[in-house]
Amino acid sequence: MCGVGSASVSIISAKLSIMKILIYGGVFDPPHKGHFSLLKSAAIRIKPDIIFIAPAWKSPFKPAPLASFTDRAAMLKLGLGRLPQNIKKTITIHPFEFKRKKTTYTSEVLKYFSKKYPASKLYFLIGSDCLKDLGKWKNLSQILKLSTIAVGIRKGFGACAANRRNSKPPRQFGWRGGEFLALKGRFPPISSSKIRTRICAGYDPSGMPEPVENYIFRKGLYFSRVIKRLKKYMTPSRLAHAVSSANLGMNLAEKYGINRGNAALSLLFHDIAKGFSSRRLIRYVSGNRIRVPHMDKIISRNPRILHSYAGAHITEKIFKIKNRKILNAVKFHTLGRARMPLLDKIVYVADMACETRSFPLAEKIRKLAFKDINLAFKLAIRTKLNHVRNNNKEKIM
């Protein structure tokens, strides 16, 4: 176990009647002030003998976490350090899901702890933003049988669902039976996903304890180190496009079940040489003996296309990225290649259709990509070919 306090002391000194155990599950990618505020309120209200925080390996309702379990556990420890000592000493960060290394459902977590601590009363802590998915939870009846659900009300999420003077569960969210506990106080509407987006966009995040924020930038989590270096190679507008396309690429990668990190890095680097002049691109590609098909034709017609080949070389040699999937996705994001793999298609589409693009078909391609990536890819190719044939001045390449 990844202990924070001395939870074992709490177990030994617990009352002989029934030990109260609070379980707090979540992805915590990254943990923020809202998480810690909710935990503190629950600890004060319930007064548990022991608290288990169980970071998810992968949530059934969210994308796979970008930070590793080890990093998320480390960030939790740093954030928990500012809680009152009487609460902190009861907390253990439990590696239950990490040991399983697969998607684990709440019912499985509760079943594990109920067997390990049979003479106990379990409380499971959630924010009210989770209520909207309650009806989708696997084995909900078992969850309600094994635990009391403690809910903290987040602004804009289920405020009407939890009447603090009534312990009845909120039926409109699919709850039937079971015990419900609404926590006192309102909890800040902070989102881990919004924090990640701000970091990926190169902005200073807010809403995290300072030690957690410092850890993120020290470790370079959420591509923060990469983006800091990219600022030296890209103009602010070009970096904004890279970040926008990377966010779209990560969402598409999650949709189609491939590595989100590969998609993000491919798109962050794809235009790293776009700022080079035509003369510099020709000199760079020739000087580094980079093999480019139809080199003479490209030089005579549109040497700017060389930025993808130069970009792949810079990504490998200067940024030390050795993943061939990423390097190929960068290299072929302009001209494409025969039998393009899924990652290449996602990079091609995300580059063409991210939110920084304003040409008429961009939004259509973007929406289509979440329905059928192959159709979106074909439409993106046709759009680019029409652009070239018509010699349209609007930049989509």
Domain count, the chain: 2
Query: For residue 15, what are its two tokens?
Result: 């009352």
Say what the pTM is: 0.77
Regarding whether 108 and 162 lie in a shared domain, the answer is yes
Strands 2-3 and 19-26: unpaired
- Amino acid at site 222: Y
List beta partners, residue 147. 122
Residue 183 covered by a domain: yes
Strands 120-127 and 91-93: unpaired
- 278 is in which domain, residue-wise? 231-390
Give the model's pLDDT for residue 349. 96
**CB burial string 138-169: b at 16+ within 10 A, e below:** eebebbbebbbbbbbbbeebbeebbeeeeeeb
Regarding whether 185 and 63 lie in a shared domain, the answer is yes
Query: For residue 310, what are its two tokens?
Result: 């130069």
Give the model's pLDDT for residue 174. 52
Q: What is the 3-state secondary structure (H, E, C) of 255-302?
A: HHCCCHHHHHHHHHHCCCCCCCCHHHHHHHHHHCCCCCCCHHHHHHHC
Regarding whether 147 and 42 lie in a shared domain, the answer is yes
Question: Which ranges of the chain have pLDDT less than 50?
Answer: 6, 8-16, 157-167, 172, 393-397
Regarding whether 341 and 270 lie in a shared domain, the answer is yes
Domain with residue 33: its CATH number is 3.40.50.620
Report the mean per-residue pLDDT for the chain: 86
Regarding whether 156 and 285 lie in a shared domain, the answer is no
Give the model's pLDDT for residue 206. 87
Q: From CA 126, how far away is CA 154, in angstroms rounded?
A: 10
List beta partners, residue 20. 121
Q: From CA 124, how far away is CA 347, in angstroms rounded?
A: 40
Which pLDDT tens digit goes with each residue over 173-226? 555 667 888 887 777 778 898 898 788 777 788 899 999 999 999 999 999 999
Residue 125 covered by a domain: yes
Strand runs (DSSP E) across the chain, as ranges? 2-3, 19-26, 50-55, 91-93, 120-127, 147-154, 179-187
Q: From CA 32, how far away is CA 64, in angstroms rounded?
A: 18
Give the model's pLDDT for residue 134. 73
